A and B are shown apart, each in its own frame.
Chain A
Amino acid sequence: MASANASYGQKEASDQNFDYMFKILIIGNSSVGKTSFLFRYADDSFTPAFVSTVGIDFKVKTIYRNDKRIKLQIWDTAGQERYRTITTAYYRGAMGFILMYDITNEESFNAVQDWATQIKTYSWDNAQVLLVGNKCDMEDERVVAAERGRQLSEQLGFEYFEASAKDNINVKQTFERLVDVICERMSDSLDNADPTVTGGKQGPQLSEQPQRSHQDCAC
């Protein structure tokens, strides 16, 4: 969406100043806390109840990694079953996924396998995925043991975090880890002159300076 950036650049001049843009998707069952998680990260705010997301929404956050400005365009999706077809269309082109479940809700954990399959089907095969068990502040109501989360993540080959948007636990770490993983993957691929990581429309930005990213992004 580099092209989009150029067109609304005047209004949000700061947005234009970035070296790379990563598109990240947050997915998972309804009301596991995806929107809260995103608001905690992007705005550092927390509200006990956000309006249930309709369709797809997004936030932007720019971070620094090895002297590079990386703009994260984080898309927040509706978790309801009915929105699956709409949201999966956005999977292609995402460089990273945060797959979220609610540690106080068994069903959301059971659905993780399903979501992982969806990612596999609809995303680029080199998209990176992190598994996050949210609401770890609600220890009293926990039904999914951390160990089970870890086991599942190993089985799926994802990295794993338990986090709480409410108490601000592991939120920043999750995103930063995901960015690091994407950077690693990118520098690997750039060795082989792989344009795919630069992701669809982001292509121009990255391919203009493959050398730099190769050196700097081996974070």
Chain B
Amino acid sequence: MAADSDPETEVFEITDFTTASEWERFVSRVEEVLNDWKLIGSSAGRSSPEKGEYTSGTWEEKSQEINFADFKFSITHHYLKQDSDTSDLKEELEEDAFPLAMQDLLCMNNDFPPRAHCLVRWYGMREFLVISPGTNCEAITSESKCNLLLSSVSISLANSGCQVPMFVQIQQKWRRLYAGECQGPGVRTDFEMVHLRKVPSQYNHLSGLLDIFKSKIGCPLTPLPPITIAIRFTYVLQDWQQYSWPQQPPDFDALLGGEVGGVEFGKLPFGACEDPISELHLATTWPHLTEGIVVDNDVYSDLDPLQAPHWSVRVRKAENPQCLLGDFLNEFFKLCSRKESTEEILGRGLTEEEGKENTDLSAALSKLTEPAAVPMSKLSVSSMVHSARKHIRRHRRVDESPLSNDVLNSILLYLFPDAAVERSSAATSDNSEGRAAPPNTGGRSEHDKDSDYNLFNQLKSAPSDSLTYRLALCVCLVNFYHGGVRALAHLWQEFVLEMRYRWENNHLVYGLASGAPDLRCCLLHQKLQMLNCCIERKRARDESRKASDGGKERERQLSGGGENGRRGPESATGAGSGAAREASPGKSWDSWSDSEDEFFECLSDQEEAAAAKEGEAEKGGAGSSRAKPPDGRLHPHGNMTLLNSSSEPLYIPVTQEPAPMTEDLLEEQSEVLAKLGTSAEGAHLRARMQSACLLSDMESFKAANPGCSLEDFVRWYSPRDYVEEEVVDEAGAAVLRGELSARMKIPGNMWAEAWDTARSVPARRQKRLFDDTKEAEKVLHYLSVQKPADLTRHLLPCILHAAILKLKEEESVEDIPSVKKAVQQATSHASKQLRHPNPDHKKLEEVISQLVAVETVIARARSLKAKFGVGKAEAGEDSEDLEKFVSSLLEEPEVAVLGAGRGPAGSIIHKLFVSAQRAALLAPLDDDLVRPGGGAEDRKPMGGGLNMPDFPPPAGREILLRTCVPRPAPYSKALPQRLFCVFMRDDFRLAGALSSDTSFF
């Protein structure tokens, strides 16, 4: 085209004029693409697709950009991926077989595929090419442009011999208007389309369409070969009449009204707040009719949906319906990125007051716990908690406090149920000594524990009956319902206060497994366990002191001065009231800790009593051999006797427990050890640092076994380091002779050295290996400096744990296999993230959205089950089928209804439509007014109702007409012809594929 204007004088070199113009270049570009994609040559010979293969198979597409001058197009190849079993078939091909696409026009196996490209639905092809304007390029709206493109298509198909149909998208994208063509040997199919807003009334029914089709074919034969017809009407149900969405958002206002047990706080909410299933689409299909069997014209229709031989249903799911658990998790997770400290949130004044409060409180407490003033047993935890809080509130105006009294009370009661028990037991009797050791584990079955164990171990959270776990639930709930981050900060402040109270008053923290911190749990849980360890030690010490107060004069003398042992109940000393106490004169070694408590007292008074009794008994015999009487004996070590005096049994001493450690302490310590390096001195120093426990054990051993030797100690402590040999003595008798192992005899070795420095001191008089006062203060300080965001991060594993448990619980009711798998995946994903010391924010977000997705699926299943009445009383094979039907609705795009309108599911669907109709049509008296005029809705109501149809007017009607007739001349080959018609509200489309013989016309 460009050459037209140029006079010939300008041609000064030889040019290939076949690609001179933009248009020619475009055509050859298209051909190149076809070549590149190997779409050249016959495509025929492949077997026709299986029934439903268009849905079950995978569709693929590749695309490329091509230019027409400076106008961008993209050419896309869509195809159904098929196993390539075509190679051997190809040989038997007839020369002039129809192209694949033409055969597909007539194939009835994949009419109305539920999920496919619109061209697939309209023309039934499994492979095609589309040229459409590139992104940001204007649509092809002029007819000449369209024709130019179609000519290009025609030329490139003819040049290349490609048999894949090629389409051009014209008009605006949303109109989905395509024109195209397919070429085969001596045949051609033209794809044409009509798209209108309104249906011309003469074509608004089957007979009208048949007229169009026939006139388009223009077949000269009489009688015309039969036309096969497939029809599908789609009905939409949006109004779920008799069914109201059962999810009642929990009534949290009730909480504020008082009378709330702990139950609410232990649970996470669940379920969707809106119906996660928004619409139901019923497709009634007549898959195979022939002209004349049914009548459908402007006055009468045979097409009653109830009579349709085939029904299928799909549901439209609400996009991201609001789900309670998901909201909870997301809101909670958002807190992780808050930066404010507790003071900033609650206001500085408040925390300062709180500081004052603390000193006030402990002063008040020390008054209360003055020896003999009030017996410990009279103090109930609950009353203390309450008084502490009242105190705070005095400083704080009521409306300032983010958490209302009632809510806070019920949360604290939920967190610390021991306080409630006490309150009632204190009322009935004064015998509260029994609650000294609250049950630390709830009564849960072994099995539960097992699966729970796995989960908390995996997620590094905490056992689901632990305080930490319950705290996490409360924090989450408070954040969501009771005032967000301010309320959370308030709750945390109260919690820390309660912890301090418990420490100062020797009340074990309820709901934590006893013993050393469990390193498999989250750090916060470990810290709380640590606090409990401290309380336990302190209490044991106090109790043994009390016991010694009770009647052991001997103890008093031994303790040297009697001051240290008797300070009455320990409770008031926490904050430093003991600073005035002087150090015990007997202990000269430098203090390991800055605590004033010099002595460790043995664990329980029974032990001590037993040991004391032993001591008494021993006094006569053993006392003679050594000035110091034996002390701190636990029990004899088998039948062993001391080597020096074979009559004296070897006693295992009461020893100090090694210090419990949380993971951060452990990390710190191992770093310190590692820093000493690997040299010999480093190793020696390390051993020294760790010898405190060995030394303490040696001292206890010496105290329990007066006159013992290192050999005796080793026989108990490290038996393999005492080597016994049978030797024959002078008299000829076999005698056992033992000695220390070679390594114990190394001069100056750690063990011998320690043995020499060890003095005979029973465990309870030794310096404490574990300074509970210091550790408890450290824990309490740690707790008090945690910002709300820190707290959230600490508790996140517990919340995820709780959410997973909740999902599992809900799933077990519904039994949805895909959910089971999804929960497992989410769990392992979460597990991987949470084990990392600093989990990735993004990844955790993913975990949460996985959990939310699971919740949504369950909510959908619930909604569907409720709608179809699954799980209601009536059992039988019907209900089983129904259940299967409902679960496949969740997982498949479209589900066939067994028995169509007469099956169990069909009749339920029918009823749903009937009641929706009734509601829609009865409410306004004059139902003609509601009927929208014109279009598809104008037609006569279908269904057997008297004056009210069972079904609403179909939202969509699709009619597919097919035949195989010679065209354009009677002597042409018989070729596939097809017309697909779609009627929707404001959308009428005819998509015709008309083939003609290009050799004989």
Q: Is B836 an interface residue (CB 8 A)?
A: yes
Residue of B nearest to A196 (CB): B835
- Shortest A118–chain B CB gap in Å is 13
Residue of B nearest to A90 (CB): B670
The stretch among A48-56, A151-159, A209-217 that forms the contact with chain B is: A48-56
CA distance A52 to B687 in the complex (A): 10
Contact A55 B693 (CB under 8 A): yes
The stretch among A4-12, A133-141, A168-176, A177-185 that forms the contact with chain B is: A4-12
Q: Is B694 an interface residue (CB 8 A)?
A: yes
CA distance A76 to B84 in the complex (A): 62
Contact A51 B718 (CB under 8 A): no
Q: Which residues of A contact B675 (CB under 8 A)?
A: 4, 7-8
Contact A55 B671 (CB under 8 A): no
Q: Is B528 an interface residue (CB 8 A)?
A: no
Contact B674 A85 (CB under 8 A): no
CA distance A29 to B689 in the complex (A): 22
Contact A73 B720 (CB under 8 A): no
Q: Which residues of B contact A82 (CB under 8 A)?
A: 693, 697, 717
Count of residues in A whose CB is under 8 Å from the partner chain: 44
Interface residues of B in 659-689 (CB under 8 A from A): 661, 663, 666-667, 670-671, 673-675, 677-678, 683, 686-687, 689
Contact A53 B687 (CB under 8 A): yes
CA distance A51 to B751 in the complex (A): 8
Q: Is B377 an interface residue (CB 8 A)?
A: no
Q: Which residues of B contact A196 (CB under 8 A)?
A: 832, 835-836
Residue of A nearest to B454 (CB): A125
CA distance A117 to B548 in the complex (A): 41
Once A90-B666, A122-B519 are accepted as A-B contacts, the answer to whether A54 and B741 lie under 8 Å apart by CB is no
Q: Which residues of B contact A12 (CB under 8 A)?
A: 677
Q: Is A201 an interface residue (CB 8 A)?
A: yes
Q: Which residues of B contact A64 (CB under 8 A)?
A: none
CA distance A56 to B720 in the complex (A): 19
Q: Is A128 an interface residue (CB 8 A)?
A: no
Residue of B nearest to A82 (CB): B717
Contact A193 B678 (CB under 8 A): no
B746 touches which one: A51, A80, A192 (CB < 8 A)?
A51
Contact A57 B658 (CB under 8 A): no
Q: Is A89 an interface residue (CB 8 A)?
A: yes
- Shortest B607–chain A CB gap in Å is 18
Q: Is B585 an interface residue (CB 8 A)?
A: no
Interface residues of B in 426-481 (CB under 8 A from A): 457
Contact A201 B741 (CB under 8 A): no
Q: Is B749 an interface residue (CB 8 A)?
A: yes
Q: Is B621 an interface residue (CB 8 A)?
A: no
Residue of B nearest to A84 (CB): B658
Q: Is B350 an interface residue (CB 8 A)?
A: no
Q: Which residues of A contact B658 (CB under 8 A)?
A: 85-86
Q: Which residues of B contact A192 (CB under 8 A)?
A: 832
Q: Produce 1/0 per residue, A187-200, CB < 8 A to B.
A: 00000111110001
Q: Which residues of A contact B694 (CB under 8 A)?
A: 54
Contact B690 A8 (CB under 8 A): no
Q: Is A105 an interface residue (CB 8 A)?
A: yes
A56 touches which one: B671, B690, B741 (CB < 8 A)?
B690
Contact A31 B720 (CB under 8 A): yes
A59 touches which one: B678, B720, B749, B837 (CB < 8 A)?
B678
Q: Is B743 an interface residue (CB 8 A)?
A: yes
Contact B670 A203 (CB under 8 A): no
Contact A57 B833 (CB under 8 A): no
Q: Is A150 an interface residue (CB 8 A)?
A: no
- Shortest B133–chain A CB gap in Å is 40
Q: Produce 1/0 per residue, B822-848, CB < 8 A to A.
A: 000000000011011110000000000
Once A89-B661, A89-B666, A195-B832 are accepted as A-B contacts, the answer to whether A31 and B671 lie under 8 Å apart by CB is no
Question: What would be 14 A-B contacts, judged by CB atoms less than 8 Å apart?
Answer: A1-B674, A4-B675, A31-B718, A49-B745, A51-B743, A51-B750, A56-B690, A57-B686, A80-B717, A80-B718, A89-B519, A105-B720, A125-B457, A194-B832
Residues on B facing A (Cβ under 8 Å): 457, 516, 519-520, 658, 661, 663, 666-667, 670-671, 673-675, 677-678, 683, 686-687, 689-691, 693-694, 697, 717-721, 741-746, 749-751, 832-833, 835-838
Q: Report the 5 A-B pairs with minimum CB-CB distance, sorted nearest first.
A: A55-B690, A49-B743, A49-B742, A195-B836, A54-B687
Contacts A86-B690, A201-B667 supplied; 20 other A-B pairs, CB < 8 Å: A1-B674, A8-B675, A30-B720, A30-B721, A31-B721, A49-B742, A51-B749, A54-B687, A54-B690, A54-B694, A54-B750, A55-B690, A57-B683, A58-B673, A59-B678, A192-B832, A193-B832, A195-B835, A196-B836, A203-B837
